[in-house]
Amino acid sequence: MAMRSGFREIFYLFLLALLISSLQLLRFVLQRPLAQGVLTHEQLVLDLKTLQQQVADYSAFIVLHPENLKRLQQRVGQVTVRYPQNIDLNRFNTEVRKLLSLINDPGASVSALPMASGILPIKLQQMQQRWLALDNNNQPIDSKRPFLTHIDGVPIQRWETAAKRMLAAKLPITTQLQQLDVLRRELGLQVKPTVTLTLTSDDSNITHLQLPVSDKATSKRSPAISQWQWLGDNTELFRFGDLERLENDRQLQRDFQKALQAGTLILDLRQTTGFSPILLQQLVQGRQYPATQPIGYGRYRRASQLRSDFLAPLGLVPLQYFQLFPAISVTLAKQQQPELSQWFAKTPVVSPASVVPATSQQLVLLIGPGCRYECEWLAYYAKDWRKTLLIGDATLGDMGRKHEFRLPSSDISVSITASLAYDQYGNQLSGKGITPDLQLPLPPNVKWPQLLKALRQYFGKINASGESPE
């Protein structure tokens, strides 16, 4: 009987374990699945941990301001608590942008929103402290009341504040202000298919306009001028996008060689990126004085995945190839930061053996926040060139090479700056940028007759005084 009782108990225990396992399996089967485009709390925690670790290991700007890493860690904890169950991907994308803004890296970027999100059905253009509301043709949607003061009844200043929370300090906010539904959620407003715009004039003539929200950028790009354009009076305009194209496009090279023959050459570099030095090499002849010392320096973040030739694509070589002036050596030696690599140098573009006669061409460079990488180096050198004038807005100081990674759960791509740039005296350029000679905000579509008239007056005064516009 004892054996039968023991067998029966074992059998009942087995049935009980089987029942519990079945109930657990049934719970998973019947559990309501997460909607597409949603992260669980566990996935959110994993992605935030990855983001935090990558920034700590690879960000060059964290070396400059380690206190920002502590701010990032604190904010990660707050985000983790704020979403105890799940979070949709668009909202998580926004949180990642806000976290990255804390390291104040002008080159940091996050991939686009993974799902459709409503945007403003108008274009915005800043005019001093106000915003113009424009249509697809860059004309005011209301010619009598051109200025936007409220969106959905909320003052535009609050929308600006919300947009700035997602960007590094110096980045322009125009594009982020277009993200209507993202900012609505940030401000705690209802997401709806229409938006109410409040427009006003200089004499406070107010009107309210209700428009349907778009889920994609409906505003077409500014009418594209040709790469090479004649503006009259021996003046040529040339616009550059990716500098790599000039290196590989034979026709573009021929067109640019023709433009170099003009009496006045205007280069629109406001949206110029890329690491190719070919434009600098062509412009520098007859403008820059020869040098034997490096014309710039760089260092990268020491990390396991970054090789010693990490800065080679930026044209930097080991410092051992140069005999530096004592003052420069002292300046570099004072910047002891063990998290950064040894120093690398940018070789002189003009050597004493390659000097050519000074050019008589007047050169005008239009620059702004969209001028990045090698374009910023060009703007830095051009500040000292003969017969050269820089106009526009200051650049961002986005001159470093990037480290890219993906967050495992959300599949969001993130890019952060892993190296720093310094000028020929060893002073930091990254994050500071280049200030133009004439700080003048320029609209996407420049009114060339007015600008040319102002340039002629400027160069006329310079020529009459015998000075050089440096």
**Residue 194, token pair as written in the block:** 């229409």
pLDDT at residue 11, as a whole number: 64
**What is the Cα–Cα distance from 210 to 10, expressed in whole angstroms?**
73
Contact 368, 392 (CB under 8 A): yes
Q: Which ranges in 59-194 belong to alpha helices (H)? A: 60-64, 67-82, 89-101, 156-164, 174-177, 180-187
Pairing type for strands 362-367 and 388-392 reads parallel
363, β-bridge pairs: 265, 388
pLDDT at residue 420, as a whole number: 97
pLDDT at residue 228, as a whole number: 77
**What is the Cα–Cα distance from 263 to 410, expressed in whole angstroms?**
54
φ/ψ of 17, rounded to 5, equals: -65, -40
Q: How many CB atoms lie within 10 A of CB 91?
A: 18
Long-range own/partner contacts, residues 153-157 (CB < 8 A, 24 or more apart): 153/196, 153/198, 154/187, 154/189, 156/131
Domain boundaries, the chain: 38-110, 123-212, 228-400+419-464
Quick one: which of 240, 470, 263 has its CA closest to 370?
240
pLDDT at residue 21, as a whole number: 72
What CATH superfamily is the domain 123-212? PDZ domain (2.30.42.10)
**What is the Cα–Cα distance from 266 to 268, expressed in whole angstroms?**
6
pLDDT at residue 2, as a whole number: 46
**Residue 176, token pair as written in the block:** 């982020």
φ/ψ of 216, rounded to 5, equals: -155, 165
pLDDT tens digits for range 117-126: 899 999 999 8
**What is the Cα–Cα distance from 356 to 299, expressed in whole angstroms?**
32
What string of DSSP letters covers 335-379?
---TTB---EEEPPSS-GGG--PPP--EEEEEE-TT--THHHHHH
Question: What is the full per-residue pLDDT of the chain (470 aa) written as tens digits?
Answer: 444 556 666 766 667 777 777 666 655 443 444 457 899 999 999 999 999 999 999 999 999 999 999 999 999 999 999 999 999 999 999 999 999 999 999 999 999 887 778 999 999 998 888 999 999 888 899 999 999 999 999 999 999 999 999 998 888 899 899 999 999 999 999 999 999 999 999 888 899 999 999 876 544 444 334 577 788 778 889 988 888 888 888 888 888 888 888 899 999 999 999 999 889 988 988 887 788 899 999 999 999 888 999 999 998 999 988 999 999 999 999 998 999 999 999 988 876 666 677 888 899 999 999 999 999 999 999 998 888 999 999 999 999 999 999 999 999 999 999 999 999 999 999 999 999 999 988 887 888 888 888 787 777 666 666 555 55
Contact 240, 276 (CB under 8 A): no
Placement of tokens 């406001």 in the chain: 270
pLDDT at residue 294, as a whole number: 92
What CATH superfamily is the domain 228-400+419-464? 2-enoyl-CoA Hydratase; Chain A, domain 1 (3.90.226.10)
230, β-bridge pairs: 236
Quick one: which of 119, 92, 246 has its CA closest to 177?
119
pTM for the complete prediction? 0.84
What string of DSSP letters covers 386-414?
TTEEEEE-------SPEEEEE-TTT--EE
